[in-house]
Amino acid sequence: MDHLDYDTLDTLKQVMEDDFNLLIETFRQDSIERLKKLHEVVQGNDADLIRRAAHSFKGSSSNIGAQQLSALCATLEKKALAGNFQGLAEDVQIIEKEFLHVQSLLANYS
Amino acid sequence: MNDVRRLKILVADDTDTDRLILESIVRKEGHAVVSACNGLQAVEVYRAERPDIVLLDALMPELDGFGAARKIKELAGDELVPIIFLTSLSDTESLVQCLDAGGDDFLSKPYNRIILQAKIKSFNRMRELHSTMLTQRDQIVQYNNRLLQEQTVAKHVFDNVAHSGCLNANNVRYFLSSLAVFNGDVLVAAQRPSGSMMVLLGDFTGHGLPAAIGAMPLASTFYGMVPKGFSMTDILREINGKLKNILPVGIFCCAVMMDINFRKRKIKIWNGGLPDCFVHHHADGSITAIKSTHLPLGVLSNRAFKDDCEYFDLEKNDRIFVWSDGIHEARNATGEMFGEQRLKQVFANNRNQNRLFDEIIEGVQQFVGGGEKDDDLSLLEIRMDEPERVNAYAKEASDRYGNSDVEWSMRFEVKPTSFKVFDPLPMLLNVLMEVPSLRAFSSTLYTILAELYTNALEHGVLKLDSGLKQTPDGFSEYYRLREERINLVDSGYVRINISHKTNENGGLLRVRIEDSGGGFDYSNRDDNGLTAFGYSGRGIGLVEKLCGGVKYSGRGNIAEVDFSWVSDD
């Protein structure tokens, strides 16, 4: 699976026009917030909080075309839903790594 | 191209990027966007902005999409506000939850511009359809209200005209059920000056307003004529003629009319098209059926109309039952009709005659059960009773009529100067037609008066010889002379004396006409050979037939006839 779906990104750029950069910037900041939240909630044992946080991040990353990131969030969401608390912190580490990669790809997309 | 008019669309999503994307897509489609970042805000924005379509993220802080959808649907009331849930949820349970909350559709992430565009278009169509429907519904409600209001006013007028008359008499029971504000059945009752009661039950073809319209002239004619003492046949003819003129072809009135004489315990009845009426005999519980022998009112021209009635002698407490076909044709749940057999069975099963009326109604109602009523249903029972037990009017009229005969006489003289210019016949006939029992004999009375007056004038006053009329030449000579003499006449008279007296069965009208002429020798007059004499003609023969003889007196200048009649009322 690609890190970024450029077709989606192209469409977005077309739709958003001048706001495209604002969108990307919003995504970046929003994602940092969400990552922070994820780190936080995986420390606790509230499965629902984890599920929700993963779900939101899944949605916003899918919209921007970050397929891999969205898929990782989906896996985390499923785990939380199943009440599986094994290796959650590591999962968030992987998600964060993927986000940083997406961020650099987006920065190079024009 | 974009053929959807500019809509106002609410986008509620807590994820900034998602909201940004949606806002852009919607704006690109040419619509106005209002936004919210959580459920509570979404409800507030909806309340303030009243958007046409709502896009709601399912999972939001404060109040989630489901809760917001419920609130928004509640606020929208009658209006259709399509709610499209934005979701990356995909399990069936979550989708069902969206629908339960009032959601109309879903849009999955990542958003697809084409799909969103299609959804907005289709929901807008649905919204417009709904709003058209609401407008039309409101119009229908408005029309219906106006219709009901108009009908209430019309019904008021209608009830004033077709009121129930003397149906509150002690010996009358009736039941009228209606399918609409107006009843296709009409029941009117009034008392004649003689105290007898006239009742008419009519069933117009159809129901409601079209059927009720005919009831107005029927009722106004009925109530106009009965208290004036017109005979039943006159009233039937008048109503028939009116309805024939007024009603369109195919609309007519099946009817039974009765004249009930409580003093003589007689009924006179005319049945045109209604089911058999029953006379229920008190003594042995037997039934006499009175069949319809006529066409309904409003079908035939008055010329072809038949007004012959049937007569029955009743005992005290005998009952007459009249009904519309609504009873016979009442259907039960399986579509079966009540029918005459079941009706007869009600009579056969009866143990207490005072309960008959109720048993018929109950029988029909039990039979119909929850089945749909498809005709007006009317039932009338009249019990034969003494006038004083019927009501105060019947008693008073009975006392008045039972003990005294109506007797009067009048004298009328035509003077010489009037012979040429004045014909007294219409005036005399008018006076006689004021006597109710004579109305049926107007043409007979005219013939009698006309013959006697013409003879008195032409042979008596003008001294014309009827022998002249035997040849064609003589005929014209006769009229030439008549013209000549009537212009010259300056003396003479014709005196008309009419006396009237009623008796128990009818009455006697005596007409005596005296002229100033020389008369003729009536002593040799052969009762059978009328034409042998000078004072003759076809006319006087007719008068003899109608009156059973003409009596001459004086010098032959006085003719007198007795016209007697038997009243069938």
Q: Is A21 on the interface with B (CB under 8 A)?
A: no
The answer to whether A19 contacts B113, with C-beta atoms less than 8 Å apart, is no
Residue at token pair 């949605």? A59
Strands, E assignment, B423-556: 494-502, 506-515, 551-553
* Chain A contact set for B85 (CB, 8 A): none
Name the 3-class secondary structure at B23: helix
Task: Using an 8 Å CB-CB cutoff, list chain A residues near B88.
Answer: 55, 58-59, 62
B25 touches chain A (CB under 8 A): yes
**Whether residue B88 has pLDDT greater than 90:** no
Q: Can you give the pLDDT at residue B17?
A: 86
- What is the percentage of chain B residues whose pLDDT exceeds 70? 92
Better-scored residue on pLDDT, B467 or B46:
B46
pLDDT category of residue B529 using cuts at 50, 70 and 90: very low
Percent of the residues in chain A that have a pLDDT greater than 70, as a whole number: 99
Confidence of residue B560 (pLDDT cuts 50, 70, 90): very high
Window from B86-100, B108-122, B242-256, B496-510 with minimum mean pLDDT: B86-100
**Pair B180, B154: CB distance under 8 Å:** no
Regarding predicted confidence, which is higher, B177 or B44?
A: B44
Q: What pLDDT sits at residue B299?
A: 93
pTM score, whole prediction = 0.58
Tell me if chain B has a CB within 8 Å of the CB of A22. yes
The alpha carbon of residue B54 is apart from the nearest alpha carbon of chain A, in Å, by 19
B402 pLDDT more than 70:
no
Task: Please check the confidence at residue B256 and state whether its pLDDT lies above 90.
Answer: yes
Tell me what pLDDT residue B5 has.
72
Q: How far apart are CA B14 and CA B382, in angstroms?
A: 82
CA distance A64 to chain B (A): 8
Check B20 against A15: CB less than 8 A apart. Answer: no
- Chain B closest CA to A5's CA: distance in Å? 11
Closest CA to B32 of B48, B53, B60, B1: B53
Residue-wise pLDDT tens digits, B478-528: 889 999 999 888 899 999 999 998 877 788 899 999 999 888 888 766 554
Closest residue by Cα to residue B330 from B296, B272, B376: B376
Average pLDDT, integer, range B75-92: 83
Residue B117 touches chain A, beta carbons under 8 Å: no
Tally of helices (H runs) and strands (E runs) in chain A: 5, 0
Confidence of residue B470 (pLDDT cuts 50, 70, 90): confident
Mean pLDDT value of segment A81-103: 88
Residue B231 vs residues A71, B380, B433, B471, B562: alpha-carbon distances, Å = 102, 22, 12, 45, 22
List the structure tokens of B215.
């009831």
Q: Which of A63, A64, A76, A103 to mutate to test the interface with B (most CBs of B within 10 A)?
A: A63
Indicate whether B2 pLDDT > 50.
Answer: no
Q: Which tens digits make up the pLDDT trace of A25-69?
A: 889 998 998 899 888 888 888 888 898 889 889 988 988 888 999
Q: How confident is the model at residue B359 (pLDDT cuts 50, 70, 90)?
A: very high
Interface check B14 vs A, CB under 8 A: yes
Q: Give me the domains of chain B, ranges plus CATH numbers.
A: 8-133 (3.40.50.2300), 162-398 (3.60.40.10), 405-566 (3.30.565.10)
Q: Which of B24, B59, B110 sits opposite A19 (nearest CB)?
A: B24
Nearest Cα neighbor of B450 from B485, B496, B493 is B496
- What digits encode the pLDDT tens for the residues B192-232? 888 889 999 999 887 667 777 888 899 999 999 998 888 89
Q: Name residues 54-73 of chain A within 8 A of B (Cβ).
A: 55-56, 58-60, 62-65
Q: Do A23 and B88 touch (CB under 8 A)?
A: no
Distance CA B116, CA B26 (A): 8
Domains identified in chain A and CATH numbers:
6-108 (1.20.120.160)
The answer to whether B264 faces chain A, any CB pair under 8 Å, is no
Reply yes or no on whether the pLDDT at A82 is more than 80.
yes
